[in-house]
Amino acid sequence: MSNEQPKTAVKCGECGGPVNAPEEPKPTDEVSCQNCPNKATYQEMMDEAQAYLHDYAETRIDATFKEAAKNSDFIKYKSGPKSTRKYRFILDL
């Protein structure tokens, strides 16, 4: 059994294009979109992708709770505020 985590591609949040990054990047290495001028440091890209993942998970959990409560007479669920943030880098989920 392997302890390796599945890899998820980071994509450009501006155009959806693939991102160029060094094979073994350092936090200060530059990464860039292959299709548009979007670029950042590797650390900035990872921070942005992590924030995207947080909002994505929050949205999915909210939808699951809403669906579970939809047909219930005794459970009421009110969704919280939704993020409208535009991400420079996203995950291909």
Given a contact cutoff of 8 angstroms between Cβ atoms, the answer to whether 34 and 17 are in contact is yes
pLDDT at site 66: 86
Classify residue 43: in a domain, yes or no.
yes
What does the alpha-carbon distance between residue 1 and residue 90 come to, in Å, rounded to a whole number?
Answer: 29
Classify residue 78: in a domain, yes or no.
no
pLDDT at site 93: 86
Does residue 56 carry a pLDDT above 70? yes
Classify residue 77: in a domain, yes or no.
no
Classify residue 1: in a domain, yes or no.
no
Q: Total structural domains in the chain?
A: 1
Residue ranges making up the domain that contains 17: 10-72+84-91
- 14-24 per-position pLDDT tens digit: 999 999 999 89
- 70-80 per-position pLDDT tens digit: 888 888 888 77
- 28-47 per-position pLDDT tens digit: 999 999 999 999 999 999 99
Q: What tokens were used for 63?
A: 């939808």
Classify residue 5: in a domain, yes or no.
no
